[in-house]
């Protein structure tokens, strides 16, 4: 059974924090109190169940497919922990990096009870949605954490005892969370240790995917640990550090900012690839035992000198994306599924949408879901290439074809896409003369390099994209109608962000996926959700990244970082305090009420609606304020 002393302490902390609005000094752990503070800042009251909409079955399947590598990598640990969860009458849970539950395994009886508090696949357990809980709080704190019984923010969650640890991918981003949950009435003394150990195994195994093009250095100060999940791992793309695990950074006194900045030589000097253990000395003089495995294949997307593409051309690289991807709506995901099926049938697809709606992300996701996923994805921005270069870059040329041509010629992007997918972005800006050559390639499936007489067969699937109305271009005579019919037997429409059916959830999910750790206040969420976002996902993600960079982990985000055209409508909260100077709930409540009444010109009904509380509740708060400090 849980400690009676601790339980009494937590209940006393709840009474002081929730009922009296006081700061429960020394009665509850710092991470829990910080979480309560964040939840209160967003207007949560802790009573009743949080308002959570589960994902529909199709959306959930798509989300699970998106995280296929994480789920496969975690499966051995899920199966191992399942047995422990069954013995303790609990469940083990895997979420994605934003807190959506992907998988639940364990005791069926407890799973049924847990589903009553929405502990099931497709539910968002981020702290901003479901209050203080092990999953959401581990995501924000970026460390293992246990939340027991009354430590949960919402009353109905007091039935749960949860232990969770974040899964950090080799790029330093939150890949997901592993959690064990059970009855709060049962002592789960080793749950946090089990979860922490399992996460170490998962993070170690993540290096098995997507790093075939990298040299892998494995090391530790203790030779006996080499080869275990506690060894340090660094991946080098060429000579540059591309990925790491937490053990490696700790052993070398580095942080995640070292990625893409330091080289192997910076860390160790000259190292010879060898499967046999060798001794390395760090820049601080410490001795490590290490092995260095050479790349298993050439670097994906790293062309040779004769194949290096011009500006405006991108080659797919394996590994995580550099920033959060657009969260497509259900109709767009259905269109993505159709696109994959058409690619399998070798039928081109035209992706149409405003600038910033995620056309290239859509294309890359289609590539990743197709049978061509292990073949190249060649992206060409037709609007970014000079007209005098695009023909030679697309179709290639023989040596000496023109002044300035590379020695040994150039293969061309169409041939580089062999077996994979060619993505022609902004196809509407392709010069008219070049459209004729592209049409011939698509009809005959052969390429003739410039300056040569040979005809080379090509095999690639075609995706095109545009933000321009091609029908108008056809009418103006700047785009060939026959090429349009060839490239657009199916058109995938990407709607702008302003038409997204649930912008509030979209913003919350993107914010959590950034992993900054700051709290996005409810007021800021509403302002961001109401904005039209003319730059669509690109503008939205850039804005969220800016706010995250200017905010402190664990504290409310600074609303002064909002874009200028949003900020005038914002009612700025008082300056954020340091995490070791936590303000009482009463002060936060007064600030939220005063700011909301000011924003609604003193209209109590509108203010209550904005705060998410009844008018009678707001009147009681106002009456208490009139009697003096809470």
Domain of 246, CATH number, reads 3.30.450
Residues 575 and 454 in one domain: no
- Among 103-107, 146-150, 406-410, top mean pLDDT goes to 146-150
- Among 245-249, 371-375, 415-419, 531-535, top mean pLDDT goes to 245-249
Q: Please report whether residue 36 resides in a domain.
A: yes
Residue 216 pLDDT greater than 70, yes or no = yes
Q: Please report whether residue 322 resides in a domain.
A: no
Q: Please report whether residue 312 resides in a domain.
A: no
Show which of 179, 207, 235 is a domain's final residue: 207
Residues 504 and 442 in one domain: no
Cα separation, 355 vs 568, in Å, equals 26
Residue 186 pLDDT greater than 50, yes or no = yes
Dmax over CA atoms of the chain, in Å, equals: 92
- pLDDT interval class at 573 (50, 70, 90): very low
To which H or E segment does residue 447 belong?
Answer: strand 446-447
Q: 462 - beta bridge partners?
A: 422
Residues 242 and 268 in one domain: yes
**pLDDT score for 524:** 83
**Better-scored residue on pLDDT, 409 or 365:** 365
Residues 232 and 377 in one domain: no
| pTM score over 0.85 | no
- Answer whether 447's CB lies under 8 Å from 399's CB: no
**pLDDT score for 629:** 44
**Using CA atoms in the order 618, 619, 623, 629, what is the torsion angle rounded to 10 degrees?**
0
| Tally of CB atoms within 10 A around 29 | 16
**Better-scored residue on pLDDT, 486 or 610:** 486
Residue 181's closest CA among 112, 117, 89?
89
Residues 129 and 58 in one domain: yes
Secondary structure of 398-431 in the HEC alphabet? CCCCCCCCCCCCECCHHHHCCCCEEEEECHHHCC
- Answer whether 560's CB lies under 8 Å from 521's CB: no
- pLDDT interval class at 92 (50, 70, 90): very high
SS3 at position 41: helix
Summary mean pLDDT of the chain:
80
Q: Please report whether residue 308 resides in a domain.
A: no
SS3 at position 436: helix
Residues 488 and 504 in one domain: no
Contacts of 179 (CB under 8 A, 6+ apart): 92, 93, 94, 95, 134, 135, 138, 162, 163, 164, 165, 195
| Tally of CB atoms within 10 A around 240 | 15
Residue 351 pLDDT greater than 70, yes or no = yes
Which letter does DSSP use for residue 475 in this model?
A: H
Range of the domain at 203: 4-207
**pLDDT score for 94:** 96
- Answer whether 175's CB lies under 8 Å from 165's CB: no
**Better-scored residue on pLDDT, 573 or 156:** 156
Least confident of 448-457, 489-498, 571-580, 606-615: 571-580
Handedness of CA 581, 586, 589, 595 (dihedral sign): negative
Cα separation, 243 vs 90, in Å, equals 35
**Chain centre distance of CA 22:** 36
- Count of alpha carbons within 13 Å of 475, Cβ hemisphere only? 5
Residues 541 and 601 in one domain: yes
pLDDT in tens, 112-146: 676 677 788 998 888 888 899 999 999 988 999 99
- Residue 263 sits at φ, ψ, to 5 deg, of -115, 170
Residue 321 pLDDT greater than 70, yes or no = no
- The mean pLDDT value for 570-578 works out to 43
Residue 205 vs residues 74, 94, 373: alpha-carbon distances, Å: 9, 16, 21
Q: Please report whether residue 538 resides in a domain.
A: yes
Handedness of CA 110, 111, 117, 119 (dihedral sign): positive
- Answer whether 571's CB lies under 8 Å from 523's CB: yes
Secondary structure tally for the chain: helices H, strands E: 23, 18
Residue 595 pLDDT greater than 60, yes or no = yes
- Answer whether 90's CB lies under 8 Å from 110's CB: yes
CATH of the domain at 118: 3.30.450.40
Q: Please report whether residue 321 resides in a domain.
A: no
- Answer whether 492's CB lies under 8 Å from 357's CB: no
- Residue 491 sits at φ, ψ, to 5 deg, of -115, 125
**Better-scored residue on pLDDT, 376 or 178:** 178
Q: Please report whether residue 129 resides in a domain.
A: yes
Q: What angle do CA 144, 554, 257 make, to 5 degrees?
A: 75
Residues 263 and 154 in one domain: no
pLDDT in tens, 167-176: 999 988 889 9
**pLDDT score for 479:** 93
To which H or E segment does residue 233 belong?
Answer: strand 232-237
Q: For the chain, how many structural domains are there in total?
A: 4
- Answer whether 377's CB lies under 8 Å from 361's CB: no
**Better-scored residue on pLDDT, 555 or 202:** 202
- pLDDT interval class at 308 (50, 70, 90): very low
Which letter does DSSP use for residue 572 in this model?
A: P
Residue 185 vs residues 161, 531, 568: alpha-carbon distances, Å: 8, 46, 50
Residues 67 and 185 in one domain: yes
Cα separation, 308 vs 325, in Å, equals 27
SS3 at position 603: coil
- pLDDT interval class at 504 (50, 70, 90): confident
Radius of gyration of the chain (CA): 28
SS3 at position 69: helix
- Answer whether 148's CB lies under 8 Å from 129's CB: no
- The mean pLDDT value for 39-52 works out to 80
Residues 476 and 529 in one domain: no
- Answer whether 316's CB lies under 8 Å from 376's CB: yes
Secondary structure of 526-549 in the HEC alphabet? HHHHHCCCCCHHHHHHHHHHHHHH
Residue 389's closest CA among 379, 380, 377?
380
Residue 127's closest CA among 152, 160, 91, 146?
152
**pLDDT score for 289:** 93
- Answer whether 396's CB lies under 8 Å from 412's CB: yes
Show which of 477, 494, 511 is a domain's final residue: 494
Residues 391 and 436 in one domain: yes
**pLDDT score for 389:** 61
pLDDT in tens, 265-280: 889 888 888 888 999 9
- pLDDT interval class at 288 (50, 70, 90): very high
- Count of alpha carbons within 13 Å of 349, Cβ hemisphere only? 28
SS3 at position 92: strand
Residue 237 pLDDT greater than 60, yes or no = yes
Q: Please report whether residue 593 resides in a domain.
A: yes
- Answer whether 176's CB lies under 8 Å from 40's CB: no
Show which of 431, 465, 494 is a domain's final residue: 494
Residues 185 and 76 in one domain: yes
Residue 305 pLDDT greater than 70, yes or no = no
């Amino acid at each position: 059974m849980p400690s009676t002393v601790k339980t009494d302490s937590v209940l006393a902390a709840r009474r002081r924090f929730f009922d009296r609005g006081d700061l429960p000094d020394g009665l509850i752990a710092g991470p829990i109190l910080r979480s309560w503070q964040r939840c209160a800042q967003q207007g949560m009251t802790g009573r009743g169940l949080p308002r959570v909409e589960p994902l529909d079955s199709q959306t959930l399947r798509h989300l699970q497919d998106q995280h296929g590598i994480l789920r496969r990598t975690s499966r051995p640990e899920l199966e191992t922990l399942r047995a422990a969860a069954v013995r303790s009458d609990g469940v083990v849970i895997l979420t994605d990096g934003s807190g959506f539950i992907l998988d639940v395994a364990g005791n069926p009886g407890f799973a049924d009870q847990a589903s009553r508090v929405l502990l099931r696949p497709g539910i968002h357990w981020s702290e901003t949605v479901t209050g203080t809980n092990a999953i959401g709080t581990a995501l924000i704190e970026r460390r293992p954490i246990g939340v027991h019984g009354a430590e949960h923010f919402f009353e109905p969650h007091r039935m749960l005892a949860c232990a969770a640890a974040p899964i950090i991918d080799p790029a330093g981003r939150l890949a997901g969370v592993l959690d064990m949950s059970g009855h709060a009435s049962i002592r789960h003394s080793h749950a946090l240790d089990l979860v922490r150990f399992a996460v170490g195994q998962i993070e170690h195994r993540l290096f098995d995917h997507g790093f075939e093009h990298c040299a892998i250095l494995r090391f530790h100060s203790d030779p006996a640990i080499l080869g275990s999940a506690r060894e340090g791992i660094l991946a080098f793309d060429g000579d540059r550090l591309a990925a790491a695990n937490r053990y490696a950074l700790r052993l070398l006194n580095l942080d995640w900012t070292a990625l893409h900045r330091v080289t192997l030589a910076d860390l160790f000097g000259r190292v010879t690839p060898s499967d046999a253990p060798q001794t390395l000395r760090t820049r601080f003089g410490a001795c490590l035992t290490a092995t260095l495995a050479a790349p298993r294949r050439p670097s994906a997307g790293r062309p040779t000198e004769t194949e290096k593409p011009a500006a405006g051309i991108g080659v797919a690289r394996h590994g995580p994306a550099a920033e959060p991807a657009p969260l497509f709506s259900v109709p767009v995901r259905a269109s993505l599924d159709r696109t994959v099926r058409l690619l399998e049938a070798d039928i081109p697809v035209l992706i149409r949408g405003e600038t910033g709606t995620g056309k290239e992300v859509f294309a890359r996701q289609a590539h990743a879901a197709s049978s061509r996923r292990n073949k190249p994805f060649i992206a060409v921005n037709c609007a970014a290439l000079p007209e005098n270069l695009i023909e030679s870059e697309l179709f290639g040329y023989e040596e000496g074809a023109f002044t300035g041509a590379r020695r040994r010629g150039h293969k061309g992007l169409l041939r580089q896409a062999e077996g994979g997918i060619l993505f022609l972005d902004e196809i509407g800006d392709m010069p008219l003369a070049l459209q004729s050559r592209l049409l011939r390639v698509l009809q005959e499936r052969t390429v003739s390099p410039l300056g040569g007489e040979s005809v080379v067969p090509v095999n690639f699937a075609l995706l095109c994209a545009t933000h321009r109305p091609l029908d108008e271009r056809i009418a103006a005579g700047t785009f060939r109608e026959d090429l349009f019919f060839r490239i657009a037997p199916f058109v995938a429409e990407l709607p702008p962000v302003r038409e997204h059916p649930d912008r509030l959830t979209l913003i919350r999910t993107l914010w959590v996926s950034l992993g900054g750790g700051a709290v996005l206040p409810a007021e800021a969420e509403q302002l961001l959700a109401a904005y039209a976002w003319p730059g669509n996902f690109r503008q939205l993600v850039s804005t969220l990244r800016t706010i995250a960079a200017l905010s402190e982990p664990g504290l409310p985000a600074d609303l002064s970082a909002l874009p200028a055209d949003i900020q005038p409508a914002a009612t700025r909260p008082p300056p954020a305090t340091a995490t070791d100077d936590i303000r009482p709930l009463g002060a936060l409540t007064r600030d939220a009420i005063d700011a909301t009444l000011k924003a609604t010109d003193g209209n109590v009904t509108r203010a209550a609606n904005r705060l998410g509380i009844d008018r009678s509740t707001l009147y009681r708060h106002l009456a208490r304020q009139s009697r003096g400090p809470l």
